[in-house]
Amino acid sequence: MDEEGYDPLQNLYEEEQARREQERYAQIEQETFDRDIEVLMSTEQGRRFAWRLLERSGVFLSTFNPKATDLGMNMAFEEGKKQAGYWLLSEIQRLCPQQYFVMTEEQKKWQMNRLRLARQA
């Protein structure tokens, strides 16, 4: 082996370069995702969609269902759904907490309008 061209640290340099590239790609991916959540929450339609996801995940409900045939499995399944909702909720709180309050106010108005329309029918 040619000792002049041999660099014992070459593998370390290459590994460090690969690690830096991987970190940069992860940072770009996270920044893109963060912008996606911010854009979602910047429109009434996006906030309405996020609210539906939160509702369907069961974030605002108890996981206990005494009518379930297999209580343990049912609760585990419901807790899994809730975790997805908690994740979305935490991202909203981290990135645009003010939009969460806008979203809840919009939902209150929507619920009141729905009740008013139901009474008229």
pLDDT in tens, 80-121: 999 999 999 999 999 999 999 999 999 999 999 988 888 887
Tell me if 33 is assigned to some domain: no
Task: Enter the pTM of the model.
Answer: 0.77
Quote the CA–CA distance of 36 and 66 in Å, as a whole number: 39
For 16-27, what is the mean pLDDT? 96
Contact assessment for residue 38 and residue 95, using Cβ atoms and an 8 Å cutoff? yes
Domain assignment present for 77: yes
The whole-number pLDDT of residue 114 equals: 87
Give CA–CA dist 112/90, Å, rounded: 27
How far is Cα 72 from Cα 70, in angstroms, rounded to an integer?
Answer: 6
**Dihedral angle sign, alpha carbons of residues 24, 30, 32, 38:** negative
In a domain? residue 84: yes
d(CA 18, CA 108): 50
Domain interval for residue 78: 41-120
For residue 6, being part of any structural domain is answered with no
In a domain, residue 27? The reply is: no
pLDDT at 3 over 70: no
Asked if the structure places residue 11 within a domain, the reply is no
Q: Say if 101 falls within a structural domain.
A: yes
Instruction: Tally the domains of the chain.
Output: 1
